[in-house]
Structure 1
């Protein structure tokens, strides 16, 4: 089976390509670097020829909610139109757990628009909402650190390995379309500040962490807002295993 991976050259996309190949199927990478543009549609018809399923893990910077909605809405509409012409039978969208409970985050606004367009579109669709990745705390520190201090929101999350998300996306793509939302999450909840402290520790980095709700993550994301529901599919890789085994966590690697 040919499975198109939209955003297949990015961090998550590369893992999805790996997972598609591991299942014995043929990945088709959809990315501008491959001559395919999901906004204009250039190259899409040719790329989707013979494709049975699409896994969309595309992303874009989102500092403005309206810009994010426009990007994800346009990209998804263009992709669905081409998928319809190609006879694609299943459209799988990677989204985020909790986006329906957070109003003020620009990126989440864009992802909600993506979900809406995909689920209302002509191609049978499954939205896979995943929790934050294991490296999320380190990313937040890199975004906010200044003069050796990093403000970081005390979020409660249930982090998941990127490879586990990729495996889940491929499993969903090979299954019958749900026409709705499924959730995937890591094994257990973690505190983001503690995750950051432990990640910095194994990487040998010294940054003072300042728990704060001032920044891109506001108090509307406190409590259990970002945790999955009771029917979520639970992935196997723990945060501790990721800390111990991921090459990025070796001192000096980051």
Structure 2
């Protein structure tokens, strides 16, 4: 099959493109570096010529609510319009578990993306994933001040990015599915700050990880209260965080 991957240079995009390429599918990488801007729509129609399935794994560089909502909503509408003209069979989106009650930041943007996509004429499937094991590395980068990382209180069920990509590829190419929305998460509930501290210990920096609650963050109660945990019907798949940690940061 000819499959377009939007955001093919990103964390999930490059993984799912690799999985599908190894299965023999023809991959069309849709990124700015390949001459396609999904926000403006420039080059999108040409890129989707002959494409049967579109996988949307694009990410945003901002978490400001209005900007990220506009970004994701605009991309979703552009994809639907161009995909319909190109005769695309379906669009498959990777999103985030538990975002329905969120009204701010990245989560609100992803919810707007889901809604805009499902309003279009091309059928849509949505894979909602838990935060990735790799998210711990990102949190350390984002929140470290001096030699301390200040990680927001969050209950999560971390999952490997490669695992999500494998499930996403399977979900995308299946001729039929029992549901248009699935959840994928890791096998165990984790505390994000605790997980990040384990990464920091293996790296040797920062020297300390502190869990914090930012009362100015409208998402803080949802994150600490377990809104991002998977539901009872979620697909749970390894590796565990400990196994991922040993693979990426082996002890000496």
Please report how far the alpha carbon of residue 177 of structure 1 lies from its aligned counterpart in structure 2 after TM superposition.
Answer: 6.0
Residue in structure 1 matched with residue 51 of structure 2 by the alignment:
51
73-82 vs 61-70, greater mean Cα deviation? 61-70
Structure 2 stretches lacking a partner, 5+ long: none
Partner of 1:156: 155
Distance 1:64 1:211 in 2: 22
Aligned counterpart, 1:63: 63
Give per-residue Cα distances to partners, 1:34-62, cap 9 Å, x unaligned. Answer: 00111222111221111110110001123
Structure 1 unaligned segments of length 5 or more: list them.
Answer: none
SS in 1 for 2:116: helix
TM-score, normalising length: structure 2 = 0.93
- Whole-Å separation in 2 of the counterparts to 1:137 and 1:125: 30
1:100 corresponds in structure 2 to 100
Q: 1:203·1:250 contact (CA, 8 Å) conserved in 2?
A: no
CA contact (8 A) 1:102 1:221 kept: no
- The CA deviation string for residues 48-100 of structure 1, in whole angstroms up to 9 with x for no partner, is 11111011000112332111111111111111111001100010011101111
TM-score norm. by structure 1 comes to: 0.92
Q: Is the 8 A contact 2:134 2:161 kept in 1?
A: no
Aligned partner of 1:36 in structure 2 is 36
User: Is the counterpart of residue 236 in structure 1 residue 235 in structure 2?
Assistant: no
Paired residues in the alignment total: 248
> What is the alpha-carbon distance in structure 2 between the residues aligned to residue 207 and residue 123 of structure 1?
49
Alignment of 1:67-86 (within 5 A): 67-86=67-86
Shift of 1:22: 2.0
Cα shift at 1:195: 0.4
* Distance in 1 of aligned mates of 2:39 and 2:225: 36
Partner residue of 1:205? 205
* Distance in structure 2 (CA, Å) of the matches to 1:14 and 1:8: 5
118-127 or 133-142: bigger deviation: 133-142
Residue 102 of structure 1 aligns to a residue in which SS? coil
Of stretches 170-179 and 13-22 in structure 1, the one that deviates more from structure 2 is 170-179
Contact 1:72 1:111 in 2 (8 A): yes
Contact 1:90–1:177 (Cα < 8 Å) also in 2: no
Q: Structure 1 residue 202: deviation in Å?
A: 1.7
Corresponding residue number in structure 2 for 1:126: 125
- RMSD across aligned C-alpha pairs, in angstroms? 1.7
